Amino acid sequence: MAAGLRSRLTASLTSASKRSDAQLLHLQRVLTSSAGVESTLCTLCYALTLLHSQLTRILTRRYERLAFALASKASESMLPGETVLASVEPPRSGLSETCASVKALADLIGDFRIFVRLWGLLDVYKSARDTYTKPPRDAIIKTLFWAQLVAYGTFQFLENGAYLASKGVLRGERWAKREPKWWVWSNRWWMAQVLLELLRLLRVRQLRYNEDFGAEETDDSKQVKIQSKELERRWHRSFYANAGWFPVTLHYSFEHESDSPVSDSWLGICGMIPGIIGFRDVWEQTI
């Protein structure tokens, strides 16, 4: 009986080892693609943003309790009518160091993601070329496509300029003044592109997914048909991903992020949605 149990345990461990090996190799193939890297870093960046917001909340509560305790002790030794003003530097702790490390890693990933978008205008050119050579059948979708390209191209141009100015590549007083405005306006154009994409997707749904999701013309060349339910699934993923991007773009569209109605927690949650959807798509498409 012991021998049989040992045999089953060995077989189970061997099977688990093979599955783990296959999963790791699959992950390696995913991370060798640009789409896989981007979706992974997007998910990780906004997950860290969410984690930082929660750690900051816990840390703030600890500081508030500490301040209340110090104030209570000070009030016990004060004379009636006496007022004492004191400035206490927040103590360093393991939690505060962890909070700072999480923020630093999120900023580092965000910086890298902006850097690899520096050549994004080439993608805009390719999309414009493809749309020109093979325009959508529907006039409304065609108009929305071109409006998106203008919005995303403007976003990319402004972001590139602001990023290079922030790194000291574009120098001078003029660029120093432009940088904060260009950051804000780049994100406003990004928000416009996201809204236009949502409108395009709604139009696609109105046409029963007959545009840009793999539909084919029938024999009489006057109607189109849906190839499979896969088209509808792709539409839902695209819609949810862009719906997740909207609060993110809204947050960064304010000159002062503290004025944004989107909290850091919701920023992290919403930003993870397109990251996770993108990662699932790459995972499923990778052999």
Name the residue among 126, 121, 178, 194 with its Cα closest to residue 153.
121
Higher pLDDT, 215 or 29: 29
Mean of the pLDDT values across residues 253-265? 92
Tell me the percentage of the chain whose pLDDT exceeds 70: 82
Kindly report the pTM of this predicted structure.
0.83
Per-residue pLDDT at 209: 66
At 44-67, the pLDDT tens digits run: 999 999 999 999 999 888 777 776
| CA distance linking residue 245 with residue 163, whole number of Å | 20
Label the pairing between strands 216-217 and 224-225.
Answer: antiparallel
Between 91 and 261, residue with greater pLDDT: 261
**Is pLDDT above 90 for 277?**
yes
Task: Report the pLDDT averaged over residues 157-177.
Answer: 94
Q: Quick one: average pLDDT of 191-196?
A: 97
The answer to whether the CB of 287 falls within 8 A of the CB of 26 is: no
Give yes or no for a contact between 209 and 231, defined as CB atoms under 8 angstroms apart.
Answer: yes
**CA-CA distances (angstroms) from residue 265 to 104, 109, 184, 201, 254?**
17, 18, 21, 27, 17
Does residue 271 contact residue 244 with C-beta atoms inside 8 Å?
yes
- 44 residue type, one letter: L
Six-digit token pair at 35? 């789409």
Q: What is the pLDDT of residue 216?
A: 44
Tens of pLDDT, residues 85-108: 555 566 677 888 999 999 999 999
What integer is the mean pLDDT of 161-185?
Answer: 94
Q: What is the radius of gyration, based on Cα positions, of the chain?
A: 26
- Predicted local confidence at residue 251, as pLDDT: 96
CA distance 38 to 244: 16
228-232: average pLDDT: 73
**What b/e sequence results for 72-85 when a residue is b if at least 16 CB atoms lie within 10 Å of its CB, and e otherwise?**
eeeeeeeeeeeeee
Indicate the SS3 state at residue 255. Answer: coil
Please compute the mean of the pLDDT values over residues 238-250 and round it to a whole number: 96
The percent of residues in the chain predicted with pLDDT above 90, rounded, is 57
199-227 confidence digits (pLDDT tens): 999 988 887 766 555 444 444 444 445 55
User: Which is more confidently placed, 86 or 129?
Assistant: 129
What's residue 215's pLDDT?
A: 46
- Does the structure show a pLDDT above 80 at 252? yes
Q: Which residue has better confidence, 136 or 242?
A: 242
User: What is the helix, strand, coil percentage profile of the chain, to 5?
Assistant: 75, 0, 20
Amino acid at position 61, single letter: R
pLDDT in the model for residue 210: 61
Q: Kindly report the average pLDDT of the chain as a whole number.
A: 85
Give the per-residue pLDDT at 73: 66
